[in-house]
Amino acid sequence: MGKIELRKWTVNDKESLMAICNAADRSYLTGRLPFPYTEADADWWLKMVEGHDGKDGIFRSVSVDGMIVGNISVEQKSDVYGKDAEIGYLLITEKWSQGIMTEAVGQICDIAFSSLDIIRITGLVYEPNSGSRRVLEKNGFLLEGILKNAVVKEGRVYDLCIYGKLK
């Protein structure tokens, strides 16, 4: 599997960020991730991360043996939901089913619970995305509910699984 590390994003990682975002399987990703993922998209995102990391979110690259293969974040919510944060991640398909994201989720949850003023982390996963569901379950997230027909992506309707992990 190699050495799995979470590292803070820097402007020097722009090419790697563009590469993973353009290579990602988007079947179960949010539509907010632009495609193609351009240099302007990477510049915007890296600037946003610089302003928010450690304050109301944790944003990390996922690397294996020094090569960036994914992205992971925990973003704190606001208003009455301010003690909750949402986890999100992506991994290039060549690295699926190797335990990389399971390890990364464990690491970022520890960082988020110790650095952010939160009491829970929420994971939202399309029902057929069994790989992502297993990643959360292996990290102690519990399935708290299923929103029926909650997501429409590319003409397909999906149930949305709500997972939670308490501090």
Span 104-158, pLDDT tens digits: 999 999 999 999 999 999 999 999 999 999 999 999 999 999 999 999 999 999 9
Q: What are phi and psi of 115, to 5 degrees?
A: -105, -25
Q: Which amino acid is at 73?
A: S
Strand partners, 6: 62
Predicted confidence at residue 47, as pLDDT, reads: 96
Of 83, 82, 58, 84, residue with least CA distance to 71: 58
Dihedral of alpha carbons 28, 146, 162, 81, sign: positive
Say whether pLDDT at 14 is over 80.
yes
**Confidence at residue 80, expressed as pLDDT on a 0 to 100 scale:** 97
**What's the chain's average pLDDT?**
96
Cα angle: 69, vertex 84, 13; to 5 degrees? 25
pLDDT at res. 31: 87
Q: What is the pLDDT of residue 110?
A: 97
In angstroms, how far apart are the furthest CA atoms of the chain?
A: 42
**CATH-assigned architecture of domain 4-118:** 3-Layer(aba) Sandwich (3.40)
The pLDDT confidence band at residue 2, using thresholds 50, 70 and 90, is confident
Beta carbons of 167 and 118 less than 8 angstroms apart: yes
pTM: 0.95
Closest CA to 76 of 89, 85, 64: 85
